[in-house]
Amino acid sequence: MSFRIRVFLLMALVALGATGATVALTWWQARDQVSEAASASRETTELIQRELRDQALRNGTWEGVDQTLRRLRGMTGQRLRLVDPYGAVVADTDHLDRRLARPPGSVAVFVDPLPELIVAGDGDGRPATLAAVDTYRAETLRAACLHRHGHELVVTPGPDGVPRHRLAGGGDPAALDECRPARPAPWQHADDLAQVRQCGPAQADCLRAAFRRQIATGEVAPAPLLLTIGAGNEPVRALDIGPVLLIALVVAALATGGSLLVSRRVLRPIGTLTAAARRLRDGDRDGRVPEDGRDELAELARVFNQMADSVRAAQDDQRRLIADVAHELRTPLANVRGYLEALQDGVVEPTADLFASLHDEVILNQRIVGDLQELALAEAGALVYHRSPTDLAELVERARTAHRAAAGTAGVTLVVDAPEPVIAEVDPDRIRQVVGNLVGNALRATPAGGTITLSAGVDGDRAVLRVIDTGTGIAAEHLPFVFDRLWRADPSRGRGTGLGLAIVRQIVRDHGGDVSAHSVEGSGATFEIRLPATRSSTSAAAPDGRARTARRPD
């Protein structure tokens, strides 16, 4: 199975699974929500009961309950209906909304505004019960009167459980006198006494029942009402699964189509990269891929093109290297061959000078081969370095000693400028090789009477080595190429291999440093090597960051 098909199937499976899970979760939650919305919750029912009972206790009458029902309907969104014990409708929010009354809902509870008598635990409770009956009638009648006159009342339960009323905010005391209830008739008091005496002095349940019967007698107390919530002709709406399934199918189709488009968008550039990689493998170094966009695939295309450019540049370097090596070896080998054939034919005499010349040519060829091998090892990271704390000031002094004879023969003065220790963690043999290569080049470029200065110092956290000559210098157009392999500004100058500076650059880079060349044609050249210095070197530096200098001529 191809990668394209696997990606498509995976994305389609994920999309369909996510869609199915979303549909199932939506169905489950919506079903519960519809079921809960079809009936009044227990909290809502208790809230409505409590509000209605508090109004009846506060006002002593059901008058004005319409406004309370309208407010509760606005709070709960439910249809509310109150019916008295005889079946007469006291209030209905459908009537208040001027609509035809619907059948009552399935939720039906009683709203009982009668208080519960609190009977003391010791002594004869019958006198207190009789007093509570009289108090309730008087308070209820007065509260109803005050409510009809538009007064706001505040109700508080008494110690016997009977509510006491007072005017909100103090009110007008004269209103209390106007609404003072009449004393109960003697027959009513006699009936209350007879009912209460049927109970024993400590029969609390019997006394509560007698209290409830007596306050419910007559037309004083507001009657318990039946409260219905909701409407019977509004069944619970079941969730229609058809639209849900339709939406699920549409989402699944869109997800599947999106997966196909994404897979094509991802795999098309990959196919282009694969074809370009095959062409690169088969030798086509000019093939490139489009780099449109700014996403990861475009970045991959840019990296591939950079890799292809690097491969082409490496191939070009390899071709130039082979051509340069062939050119460098062709002349000395042709000289050796010509002299050997001349000796074989007896054209020339085998003199000591001839053999010395042939020996020089062989040595030059050997040096070219050796330098090429060493440069190849260095560029491949195969050179072995034995690093240790090394005093670079002492190292340049040894380099001066090693080249003293060659400098004397050329009539050039070697000067060392390194008065203080400069410690760096390097391979001393390799760094001495680097300095030796630079000194050798400087000797070839410096005429008799010139000077070559070897300096070592500290610049910040870097150890700095410089080889400064007073020779012919390097032209500005040649400076960018001085560290290239087999490059020589003047092929006729000296017998160098053209690989020394390339070896210098690689060894310095392997030590974490860098090397640069500065020159003005006709005024000499300066080669500068910067290597990481140890803490002891930086602490020994002068306040300006550089070691103090001193000159020691050869």
**Would you state the torsion angle of the CA atoms of residues 208, 214, 215, 221, taken in this order, to the nearest 10 degrees?**
140
**Sign of the Cα pseudo-torsion (371, 373, 378, 379, in order):** positive
Q: How far is C-alpha 233 from the geometric centre of its chain's CA atoms?
A: 55
Same-domain check for residues 449 and 324: no
3-state secondary structure of 427: coil
Nearest alpha-carbon partner for 481 in 498, 506, 464? 498
Same-domain check for residues 221 and 253: no
pTM over 0.85: no
Establish if 530 belongs to a structural domain. yes
Helices (H), ranges, 446-499: none
Task: State the residue for tokens 């043999």.
Answer: 429
Task: For residue 332, give its domain range.
Answer: 296-375
Same-domain check for residues 259 and 300: no
More reliable by pLDDT, 2 or 215: 215
Instruction: Please give the tally of structural domains in the chain.
Output: 4
- Quote the pLDDT of residue 487: 63
Establish if 287 belongs to a structural domain. no
Q: What is the pLDDT of residues 319-364, one digit of tens each?
A: 766 766 676 677 678 778 887 888 888 888 888 877 887 787 787 6
How far is the C-alpha of 64 from the C-alpha of 36, rounded, in Å? 31
Establish if 13 belongs to a structural domain. yes
Establish if 459 belongs to a structural domain. yes
Q: What is the pLDDT of residues 365-418, one digit of tens each?
A: 776 777 677 767 776 676 788 899 999 999 999 999 989 988 999 999 999 999
Establish if 282 belongs to a structural domain. no
DSSP state of 98: T
Same-domain check for residues 105 and 121: yes
Tokens standing for 25? 């979760």
DSSP state of 531: E
Q: What is the pLDDT of residues 224-239, one digit of tens each?
A: 999 988 887 665 555 5
Q: 375 and 397 in contact (C-beta within 8 Å)?
A: no
How far is the C-alpha of 418 from the C-alpha of 421, rounded, in Å? 8
How far is the C-alpha of 391 from the C-alpha of 463, rounded, in Å? 10
Tokens standing for 166? 């007072």
Nearest alpha-carbon partner for 264 in 545, 76, 542, 5? 5
Establish if 191 belongs to a structural domain. yes
Q: Considering 375, 398, 429, which residue would you say is the last residue of a domain?
A: 375
Same-domain check for residues 207 and 67: yes
- Quote the pLDDT of residue 435: 93
Nearest alpha-carbon partner for 443 in 469, 466, 417, 418? 469
Same-domain check for residues 76 and 121: yes
